[in-house]
Amino acid sequence: RTVYVNGAYLPEEDAKISIFDRSFIFGDGIYEVSAVIGGKLVDCEAHLARLERSCGEIRLALPWSKAELVAVHEELIKRNSLDEGGIYLQVSRGAADRDFAFPTDATPTLVMFTQERNMSSAPAAKTGIKVVSCPDLRWARRDIKSVNLLGPVLAKQFAAESGAQEAWLVEDGVVTEGASSTAWIVKGKTLISRPLSNKVLPGITRKAVLAYIGETDFTFEERTFTLDEALDAEEVFITSATSLVMPVVQIDGHTIHNGAPGPTAIRLREIYLDFAK
């Protein structure tokens, strides 16, 4: 694989960053993951807008324009002949001797790489995925896409050990979101997902789905829901740049929609893919 590090395209074995990099030492960095479908970037502008917002919130001045970042995305797709998968981007405050407060002289580090993944015909979309719930142990600014991911790492490991593909993070009985996805439930033609706030990452896929349902008879109800409500829901699904729209057929061992993907999630996935292609 060819990866990108601070202006250079290199074979992954040759890519290096400092052990003093602040994303390594402090988790002082921001990331983005965008999907590539049929060799095309999906919603790259929106991901880069969220990157700018996240960086602004931690006062990290990005030295690259959006156009420059899009160009690196495109170049990586080309150099790796990437048809389906994703692009990971990470920016950190840079390398400096270890000291908590911001360094005065560090230059931000930018790292990007591609990952091949079956997107439009992901086998999991045919069967649906299993979810387990666990307490939400994350910090109070989950709207910032920071590389501090220990909470989600532990939650995903719990899911993996439970034979599930995603963990739903729960706080005071309410589902905040998936460890790396937005959580949705369905009642009739109504799609339910919680309002944006400091408690959740504002999902780009969530936003795209909401834009696309304008042309359908689905309506959106923006509110929190409890885990109990999800267990009783007609359908459940998640959205993210890695899963797109993914039906959920089990939560904590409790079967959803007879254990098969429901028509709403299937339809939304089709609509999403139609627009993405």
The three-state secondary structure class of 4 is strand
| CB burial string 83-115: b at 16+ within 10 A, e below | ebbbbbbbbbbbbbeeeeeebeebebbbbbbbe
Shortest Å distance, C-beta 201 to ligand PDD: 4
Binding ligand PDD (rule: CB under 6 A), the pick from 205, 224, 250, 264 is 205
Q: Quick check: is 40 catalytic?
A: no
- CB of 259 closer than 8 Å to CB of 250: yes
Q: Which of 145, 156, 187, 277 is catalytic?
A: 145
Q: Please give the residues from 234 up to 253 whose contact with ligand PDD meets the rule CB under 6 A.
A: 239-242
Options 124-132, 198-206, 221-229, 248-256: segment touching ligand PDD (CB under 6 A): 198-206
Contacts of 270 (CB under 8 A, 6+ apart): none
Q: How far is the CB of 101 from ligand PDD (least distance, A)?
A: 27
Our finding on whether 29 is near ligand PDD (CB under 6 A) is: no
The CA distance from 79 to 270, in Å, is 29
Nearer to ligand PDD, 165 or 205 (CB): 205
Q: Does 180 bind ligand PDD (CB under 6 A)?
A: yes
Return the ∠ at Cα 129 (arms to 128 and 132), rounded to 5°.
150
Subset of residues 154 to 173 that bind ligand PDD, contact rule: CB under 6 A: none
Report the DSSP pairing between strands 29-37 and 109-116.
Answer: unpaired
Q: Which is nearer to ligand PDD, 218 or 272 (CB)?
A: 272
Locate 209 and state its tokens: 């789905």
Q: Name the amino acid, one letter, at 109.
A: T
Instruction: Give the shortest CB-68-to-ligand PDD separation in angstroms.
Output: 21
Output 18 or 115, the one with its CB closest to ligand PDD.
115
Q: What is the DSSP string of 209-228?
A: HHHHGGGSS-EEEE---BHH
Task: Report the C-alpha dihedral over residues 144, 149, 152, 153, rounded to 10 degrees.
Answer: 170
Judged by CB under 6 A, the residue of 134, 204, 236, 246 near ligand PDD is: 204
By C-beta, is 85 or 203 nearer to ligand PDD?
203
Q: Nearest distance from residue 139's CB to ligand PDD, in Å?
A: 12
Closer residue to ligand PDD (CB): 179 or 256 = 179
- Sequence letter at residue 128: G
First to last CA, the chain: 24
Minimum Å distance from CB 221 to ligand PDD? 19
Which spans of this chain sit near ligand PDD (rule: CB under 6 A)? 33, 177, 180-182, 201, 203-206, 239-242
Q: Active-site residues: which are they?
A: 145
